[in-house]
Amino acid sequence: MENREINVSGTLVWYYYICPREVWLIGHQITPDQDNANVSLGRFIQNYSYPRERKELAVGHSKMDVFKIAGGELIIGEVKKTSKYRRSARMQLAFYLDELKQRGVNAKGELRFPREKQREEVLLDEETEKALDGTKREILRILYLPQPPHPVKIKFCKNCAYAEFCWS
């Protein structure tokens, strides 16, 4: 890690709320199993949901799934296959809103769960900003560890694309 710039991304924020070990693995460019059914399904949902909206707005070290202008406001959307990881998704989207805010762009966020036909508005308030600051510091602490945190069996391991890496 000494020879490259370390940046917190929305993806790392997402994984932080699921599994710190995944944060370390992704941050050290260890790619998950790309043939994992959940990875493929997530990619499919992201690519084929909301076809009339613009895809992938890149800002800084982040890529937001979809965006639109409605009523003169920028609305960025994060598309997820399930609402099971709602807290992770909220914080990831809050991270994107913060990235935009730091660049002088005010936006609203919208979580989207197309398979469940749900949408949820996400706003960047003071409390969320404070939590996000702590999350970013903790992610950097994890990334600077010389080795990944030890694997801990949690309910998400069953469908994880890193399962073989952790449990072989």
94-134 pLDDT per residue, tens: 999 999 999 999 999 999 887 888 999 999 999 999 999 99
Do residues 25 and 154 make contact, with C-beta atoms less than 8 angstroms apart?
Answer: no
Give the tens place of pLDDT for each residue, 82-104.
888 899 999 999 999 999 999 99
> Structural domains in the chain?
10-167 (3.90.320.10)
Question: Phi, psi at residue 138, to the nearest 5°?
Answer: -70, -35
pLDDT for the residue 103:
92
The secondary structure of 103-164 as a DSSP string is: TT--EEEEEEEGGGTEEEEE---HHHHHHHHHHHHHHHHHHTSSSPPPP---GGGGG-TTHH
Place of tokens 């010389």: 146
Max distance between CA atoms of the chain, in angstroms, equals: 52
Q: Which residue has the higher pLDDT, 28 or 68?
A: 28
pLDDT for the residue 15:
92
Alpha carbons 80 and 47: distance in angstroms, whole number: 11
Element (H, E) at 82: none
Alpha carbons 157 and 164: distance in angstroms, whole number: 10
Mean pLDDT of the chain: 83
- pLDDT cut 90: percent of the chain above it: 44
